[in-house]
Amino acid sequence: MAELAAAIEKVKTAIQQAAERSGRPATSIHLVAASKRVPLEVLRKAAVAGISIFGENRVQEGIAKFEATGFKKDIAALHLIGPLQTNKVNKAVGLFDLIHSVDSHRLAERIEKEAARRGIVQAVLIEVNIANERNKHGASVGETPGLVEAIRSLPHLSLLGLMAIPPQSADPEGARPYFAALRELGHRMGIDRFSMGMSGDFEVAIEEGATWVRVGTALFGRRAA
């Protein structure tokens, strides 16, 4: 517990310092604790120690840890940060306060249909394959403007921003050009909120405009694969 609390403090301090360096209010940056494969009892302790937003990768794990247990009522928000399959949309809509991984018209339309059925507006981000890597989730840079326009026309979706996972790099500076590219892509479409940065590079992401950072290992330690 003491170790977890110290890790949370350390990440929060690093976020604050990165915000200061880039002349932005620290309150504009939200820490999303990436909680895949972290057991519920640890997450409860994290919530007590100051984590208010959790991000899960899988719908089923979100249901098991946050909905079935009632834990979701104790936190500010639950996000889906992993890919969403269309056959899981009916369970994801409403459970997740923000879905970071919308990357196709088909998926957006399925979410629209389910949100309409429930009479809610689902907040989403578009995941962009910012380096146009093969075999990677995300809309290509080229198709993103069309997808932005399409989602903006859907009444039960609220497009809050863009998300990206840049190519793996040994050095956090390696990700900087991709974070900058996501920000520039967003700005061209009037978007100024970005989900980018993980344990190894969240400070660089903040310097480049991140408003959500998704941090797992730096909070919870290494997970089994």
Ligand X SMILES: *Cc1c(COP(=O)(O)O)cnc(C)c1O
Residues that bind ligand X in the complex, under the rule CB under 6 A: 34, 36, 57, 81-82, 165, 198-200, 214-218
Query: Which single residue brings its beta carbon nearest to ligand X?
Result: 216
The residue (of 69 and 199) whose beta carbon lies closer to ligand X is 199
- C-alpha dist (Å) from residue 160 to 98, 121, 127, 193: 9, 12, 12, 7
Decide: 122 and 113 in contact? Cβ < 8 Å. no
DSSP codes joined into one string, 108-143: HHHHHHHHHHHT--EEEEEEEETT--TT--SEETTT
Decide: 81 and 56 in contact? Cβ < 8 Å. yes
The residue (of 154 and 172) whose beta carbon lies closer to ligand X is 172
Minimum CB–partner distance for residue 224 and ligand X (Å): 12
The residue (of 85 and 217) whose beta carbon lies closer to ligand X is 217
The residue (of 125 and 150) whose beta carbon lies closer to ligand X is 125
Minimum CB–partner distance for residue 200 and ligand X (Å): 6
Minimum CB–partner distance for residue 84 and ligand X (Å): 12
Minimum CB–partner distance for residue 131 and ligand X (Å): 15
Minimum CB–partner distance for residue 119 and ligand X (Å): 29
The residue (of 150 and 164) whose beta carbon lies closer to ligand X is 164
- Tell me whether strands 30-34 and 53-56 are parallel, antiparallel or unpaired: parallel
Q: Based on C-alpha coordinates, what's the Rg of the chain?
A: 17
The residue (of 28 and 217) whose beta carbon lies closer to ligand X is 217
Minimum CB–partner distance for residue 216 and ligand X (Å): 3
Decide: 136 and 163 in contact? Cβ < 8 Å. no
d(Cα 33, Cα 167) in Å, to the nearest integer? Answer: 21
- Residue 104: alpha-carbon gap to chain centroid: 17
d(Cα 208, Cα 196) in Å, to the nearest integer? Answer: 9
H helix or E strand, kind and range, residue 75: none
Minimum CB–partner distance for residue 219 and ligand X (Å): 8
The residue (of 75 and 99) whose beta carbon lies closer to ligand X is 99
CA angle 67, 12, 42 (to 5 degrees): 35
